[in-house]
Structure 1
Amino acid sequence: PCPGSAPAPALTSPRGQAGGDRPPCDRWGRPPPPGRDALRAPGPQPCSHGEGSPGGGRWCCEGGALLGGGTMKSLLLSRFLLLLPWGLIVILLLDTDSSRAPPARPLQQAAPRRPALPPIYAITPTYSRPVQKAELTRLANTFRQVARLHWVLVEDAARRSELVSRFVARAGLPCTHLHVPTPRRYKRPGLPRATEQRNAGLAWLRQRHQQLPPPQPGVLFFADDDNTYSLELFEEMRTTRKVSVWPVGLVGGRRYERPVVENGKVVGWYTGWRADRPFAIDMAGFAVSLQVILSNPKAVFKRRGSQPGMQESDFLKQITTVEELEPKADNCTKVLVWHTRTEKVNLGNEPKYHLDAVKIEI
């Protein structure tokens, strides 16, 4: 019997033995209720109270683990810790709202699209001579660095020369190769030069753009092959609205010639030759809007009635007035183009017949 308790009634074992066998404790360390049979583990399994007041200790079962208050707390804590992660996962899943819109991000305005640069068309008359390739090479090295520039190269010849054709193929920039000969009667000294070649370039430009609707952006200028150009000049001329002008260096027997500007308007000319010309300016000193060229289809360089040095004035009179000119290059105070003219080469020692075993193109 357990200390302090009434003697337990005798039970009959499965083998029919009566007497001192005690029922086993249940899973919580407690004896079964009176009058209830229970299966017993083999051997005697007495139960007893621990020290202290009755019921105040822990229950024990012989042959089983000690169970009681401390063991129960450990068991509950272990099960709680085992279930805690799963509970957190369930809470997170319940808290997630798939229909909730993501947080709005501040709208980033797209950078404004820059307008395309107006193209520049450079019309260059050229003719065969020992320095021709050297002159064209210098021009090509400059033009290659200018964005959206189209070179119109016009030979003074009845057919395209092999030298210029090979040069154009290797120039590395957009180029149109034309040719037109100057009539022999106009090759006398003192007569205007390159008239037919410039007009051929104008005709090609008008034919190319005549089917397109206006307005058509673009700028035209006449780039003789004996000039040297600053890259800054092309940025200046690109904004031409009608006709723009600027100074030219090493021309007219002076260090430079230029339009005289007052209050943003051209009022005269600083020149060393015939200041009475309507437009006392060199061919390298102006640019014309493409739309002006297309709007004046009859504006060309004239042969009949034109005097040497007057081609610029004869052409500009057909498309503009002095009051409409747009001064560039800081109100015509900066020289950005020079009429350098490659020095005439001395070939006095060149043999009459080719003696070298190798033929070299210069």
Structure 2
Amino acid sequence: FLSCLLFPGRLVQKAELIRLSQTFLHVKKLHWIVVEDAANRSKLVADLLAQSGLSYTHLNLPTPTIYKLRESDPNWLKPRGVEQRNRGIQWLRENRELSEEAVVYFADDDNTYSLKLFDEMRWTKRVSVWPVGLVGGLRFERPLVENGKVVGFYTAWKPNRPFPMDMAGFAVALQLLLANREARFDINAERGYLESSLLQSLVSIEELEPRANNCNTVLVWHTRAEKPKLKQEDLLLKEGKGSDVRIEV
């Protein structure tokens, strides 16, 4: 199982979803849970999922107004996608049985994933972990491993967090998530503590399972598409000559 949260209104959304869905087509036994941050599920996403060839569930849940970023806010000011990730967890608790063996991974549509990552996480017993490239102001962040056990973390930003890890750097066994029914992401978590708010209720650092060559191989990257610059489009719009809105981008 993979969950993916979406923020509406991003011009690169369709392109990134197509890239991600075509990666997922190569992953065996995958069910894609897509959660839109919106009051209604969009036609664009619904059509893309229907045409993807993937097993999927399409959900939506708008972020409460008090937690929404304003246009002028930096994207780090408030936690994003918290309620949507929790909605994905809720769906699993309502639709899957404790006896079912699967792995839950919180994927974002603007990351780049090696197919090898999904082979690595498939063997998760509780919580498996690995490095993430191009994140935290570093070339990579990663768990530090000695004798097959995680003993610390290589990170520069807020290293004293309980689990100083990125969302892309861990996967959780479905059975563990279902057995701990109160486990969820905390929307009021301090900046950088969102991952810790879930993991602290599931596992200790000593129980983490290092993957990807004892956390020495990077298999996921925060590449993030650049926000398109539409200066010429804006100029044409002022002249009443904007591009055809009937053509979906």
Taking structure 1 as the reference length, the TM-score comes to 0.64
Question: Structure 2 counterpart of 1:268, which letter?
Answer: G
Of 316-325 and 295-304, the range deviating more from structure 2: 295-304
| CA distance in structure 2 between the aligned counterparts of 1:181 and 1:357, rounded to whole angstroms | 29
CA distance in structure 2 between the aligned counterparts of 1:124 and 1:327, rounded to whole angstroms: 23
Q: Which residue of 2 aligns with 1:97?
A: none
**Match in the other structure for 2:206:** 323
Query: 2:150 aligned with 1:266, yes or no?
Result: yes
Question: 1:259 corresponds to which letter in structure 2?
Answer: P
Structure 2 distance, partners of 1:357, 1:339, is 32
Distance 1:293 1:178 in 2: 19
Asked whether 1:160 is paired with 2:41, we answer yes
Partner of 1:116: none
Match of 1:117 in 2: none
Residue equivalent to 1:336: 219
Measure, in 2, the Cα distance between the counterparts of 1:267 and 1:292: 22
Using the TM superposition, give the Cα deviation of residue 278 of structure 1 relative to its aligned residue in structure 2, in angstroms.
0.8
Q: May I ask how many residue pairs the two structures share in their alignment? A: 238
**Counterpart of 1:349 in 2: which secondary structure?**
helix
- Determine which structure has the larger helix proportion and give its number: 2
Task: Give the aligned partner of residue 126 of structure 1.
Answer: 6
Shift of 1:228: 0.5
Q: Identify the structure with bigger relative contact order (alpha carbons < 8 Å, sequence gap 6+).
A: 2
Per the alignment, do residues 159 and 357 of structure 1 end up closer, same or farther by CA in structure 2, a change over 3 Å counting?
closer
User: Which one of 201, 207, 216 corresponds to residue 88 of structure 2?
Assistant: 201
Deviations 1:234-256 (A, max 9, x none): 01000000000000000001110
Written as runs of structure 1 = structure 2, the 5 A alignment for 1:252-263 is 252-263=136-147
3-state SS, counterpart of residue 231 of structure 2: coil
Distance 1:127 1:296 in 2: 28
Corresponding residue for residue 227 of structure 1: 111
Q: CA RMSD for the aligned pairs?
A: 1.2
For 1:255, what is the secondary structure of its paired residue? strand
- Mapped pair 1:249 → 2:136: no
What residue in structure 2 maps to residue 314 of structure 1?
197
Structure 1 CA distance for aligned equivalents of residues 131 and 59 of structure 2: 29
Q: Secondary structure at the match of 2:176?
A: helix
* Distance apart, 1:327 and its partner CA: 0.2
Larger radius of gyration: 1
CA shift, 1:314, in A, is 1.0
Residue-by-residue CA offset, 1:112-142 (whole Å, 9 max, x unaligned): xxxxxxxxx1110001210000111111010
Q: Which of 132, 138, 142 matches 2:19?
A: 138
How far off is 1:173 after superposition? 0.5
Q: Which amino acid aligns with 1:261?
A: V
SS in 2 for 1:223: strand
How far apart are the structure 1 equivalents of 2:244 and 2:149? 61
Distance 1:159 1:250 in 2: 33
Residue type matched to 2:110 in 1?
A: D
Decide which structure has greater strand share: 2
1:272: how far off? 1.8
Q: CA deviation at 1:355?
A: 3.9
What amino acid is aligned across from residue 155 of structure 1 in structure 2?
E
Task: Give 2:41's aligned amino acid.
Answer: R
The CA distance in 2 between the partners of 1:355 and 1:238, in whole Å, is 47
Q: Distance in 2 between matches of 1:355 and 1:231?
A: 40
- Do residues 182 (structure 1) and 63 (structure 2) align? yes
Task: Please give the per-residue CA displacement for 1:235-284, whole angstroms capped at 9, x wherever unaligned.
Answer: 10000000000000000011100000000000111012111111111000
- State percent identity of aligned pairs: 55
- The one-letter amino acid of 1:326's match is E
The change in CA–CA distance for 1:355 and 1:168 in structure 2 (over 3 A counts) is same
Q: Deviations over 1:68-119 (max 9, x none)?
A: xxxxxxxxxxxxxxxxxxxxxxxxxxxxxxxxxxxxxxxxxxxxxxxxxxxx
Counterpart residue type for residue 296 of structure 1: N
- Counterpart residue type for residue 127 of structure 1: F
